[in-house]
Amino acid sequence: MAKADKTQVGQLFDSISGHYDFLNHFLSFNIDKKWRRKTIKELSSGKDLILDVATGTCDLAIEIINQQKANHIIGIDLSIGMLEKGQEKIDRLNLTEKITLRQEDCHNLSFEDNSFDAVVVAFGVRNFRDLLQGLKEINRVLKPNGELIVLEFSKPKYSLISFFYNLYLNHLLPLIGRLFSKHIYAYTYLPNTINEFVYGKKFIEKLGEAGFQNSTYKELTFGVATIYKAIK
């Protein structure tokens, strides 16, 4: 299956931005909140400036600030609709001096080399049109010895868990998602990207190709999601 272009991806997430938070929490049984907290624990404290790629509605960025892991975060996304929802949260929580949002394409970032102390990506790398190019751009804007922390969906290894997971992912989740979002393609796109994504050791290899070192990964909830950590 061909990757959607950046306009299609942006429009797709624009179309579900109003329901995105509710459906994320509902369809994951709220486990996604726990996964984000675990991801932030992998991030070293005392960062001056962090880039949050595919920030969406800013859940991860807000939690990083709440845990005092960074002085400032720049959150980027292709979707204007998602950024607008994120900005509403930031305004409501009085975090406008701590979090700045911008529309950016991760394959061609506008930032200078060696700009950020760390980069975080939650549930975004599987949407990269060109995974290697996106990772190389992240490496470029990271400072030397900067951290990359990625949280992404993966696939369970155990056969029984894998059976029920695939049933939920490929059949129930798209059905429930369509009932709430009224968008036929959006929650079919999600399982497609998960099924096609290179996770675990294969993703570690991609990180190495992009110039990262000391890459490690940690599986969560029987392998349904995985946290990756790498150093420039």
Residue 232 burial by CB count (10 A; 0-12/13-18/19+): exposed, middle or buried? buried
Which of the residue ranges 28-37, 51-60, 175-184, 207-216 would you say has the lowest mean pLDDT? 175-184
Q: What percent of the chain shows pLDDT beyond 70?
A: 87
CA 144/CA 148 separation, integer angstroms: 11
Residue 178 has a pLDDT of: 72
Q: Which two tokens stand for residue 64?
A: 């990083």
The 10s digit of each residue's pLDDT in 11-27 is: 667 666 666 777 676 66
The 10s digit of each residue's pLDDT in 221-230 is: 999 999 999 9
The answer, yes or no, to whether residue 3 has pLDDT greater than 80, is no
The answer, yes or no, to whether residue 1 has pLDDT greater than 50, is no
Whole-prediction pTM: 0.91
User: What is the DSSP-derived secondary structure letter of residue 223?
Assistant: G
Domain boundaries, the chain: 6-156+198-231
For domain 6-156+198-231, give the CATH superfamily. Vaccinia Virus protein VP39 (3.40.50.150)
Residue 2 has a pLDDT of: 41
The 10s digit of each residue's pLDDT in 61-81 is: 999 999 999 999 999 999 999
Residue 169 has a pLDDT of: 84
Residue 144 has a pLDDT of: 97
Q: Which two tokens stand for residue 16?
A: 């579900």
CA 17/CA 182 separation, integer angstroms: 12
